């Protein structure tokens, strides 16, 4: 699939079919992640593949509690709208994947990380986007679940304290790839026009040619 097509057709998936993700497909999308650039080539990521329904169920409980808590920040119609949305597919997705970042990893000898150490985590996010796009091209859906307390999830999975849990992803064949993001379709939030977000030469300057 063309890279632009994958970018425009990528969705955040919460509705999964039950078919298994073949191991060679899973390997290809993990390898795509592993081929993201990383600061100083430190490759700070790990991938933890979860298929055990008991483990999924423990994480789902963490999600359900956090979601109940999150709902309370909304009132009236907005709360109804929030409650009606499906925001995770932990139990249904064939694979749950945790992506971590080890900021203490010594690969790359610290190159590029003196002034911006946060780039280790940023590199890990680039790896996640690679995986997301590669998955899309394989017809596989990915849903990023952030309504979780990462420390609780780390505890369930035995992930050492010093690691950053960057993402908890649900991966599997989706019921469908919708034309638009769910939050746009449901009227939760529209897409901002790109031109509102671009400046030239200096912050807040909208003129293309300042010289």
- Interacting positions 89-118 with a copy of itself (CB under 8 A): 107-116, 118
Q: For residue 199, which phi and psi values (nearest 5 degrees)?
A: -120, 165
Choosing from 4, 84, 161, 207, the residue that interacts with a copy of itself (CB under 8 A) is 4
- The sign of the dihedral angle between the CA atoms of 60, 66, 71, 74 is negative
What is the rounded distance in angstroms from the CA atom of residue 8 to the CA atom of residue 147? 25
Applying the rule CB under 8 A, the residues between 136 and 175 that interact with a copy of itself are 136-137, 144, 146-150, 157-160, 166-167
Instruction: Please tell me whether residue 184 binds a copy of itself under the rule CB under 8 A.
Output: yes
What is the rounded distance in angstroms from the CA atom of residue 208 to the CA atom of residue 198? 10
Instruction: Please tell me whether residue 25 binds a copy of itself under the rule CB under 8 A.
Output: no
Instruction: Please tell me whether residue 20 binds a copy of itself under the rule CB under 8 A.
Output: no
Q: Tell me which residue of 179, 139, 136, 154 sits closest to 99, measured CA to CA.
A: 154
Q: Tell me which residue of 172, 152, 176, 173 sits closest to 49, measured CA to CA.
A: 172
Applying the rule CB under 8 A, the residues between 52 and 81 that interact with a copy of itself are 52, 55, 66, 69-70, 73-74, 78
Q: Tell me which residue of 22, 35, 23, 209 sits closest to 133, measured CA to CA.
A: 35
Contact range with a copy of itself by CB under 8 A, out of 14-22, 132-140, 170-178: 132-140
Choosing from 32, 90, 169, 170, the residue that interacts with a copy of itself (CB under 8 A) is 32
Report, in Å, the least distance between residue 173 CB and a copy of itself.
Answer: 18
């Amino acid at each position: 699939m063309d890279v632009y097509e994958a970018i425009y057709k990528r969705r955040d998936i919460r509705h999964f079919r039950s078919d298994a993700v073949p191991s060679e497909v899973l390997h290809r999308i993990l390898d795509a992640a592993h081929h993201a650039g990383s600061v100083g080539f430190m490759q700070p990521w790990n991938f933890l593949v979860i298929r055990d329904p008991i483990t999924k169920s423990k994480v789902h409980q963490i999600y359900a509690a956090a979601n109940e808590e999150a709902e309370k920040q909304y009132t009236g119609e907005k709360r109804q709208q929030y409650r009606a949305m499906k925001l995770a597919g932990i139990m249904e997705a064939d694979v749950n994947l945790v992506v971590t970042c080890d900021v203490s990893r010594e690969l790359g000898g610290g190159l590029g990380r003196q002034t911006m150490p946060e780039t280790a985590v940023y590199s890990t996010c680039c790896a996640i986007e690679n995986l997301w796009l590669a998955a899309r091209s394989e017809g596989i859906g990915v849903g990023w679940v952030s309504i979780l307390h990462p420390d609780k999830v780390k505890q369930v999975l035995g992930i050492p304290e010093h690691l950053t849990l960057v993402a908890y992803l649900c991966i599997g064949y989706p019921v469908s790839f919708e034309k638009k993001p769910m939050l746009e379709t449901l009227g939760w939030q529209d897409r901002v026009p790109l031109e509102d977000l671009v400046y030239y030469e200096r912050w807040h300057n909208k003129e293309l040619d300042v010289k």
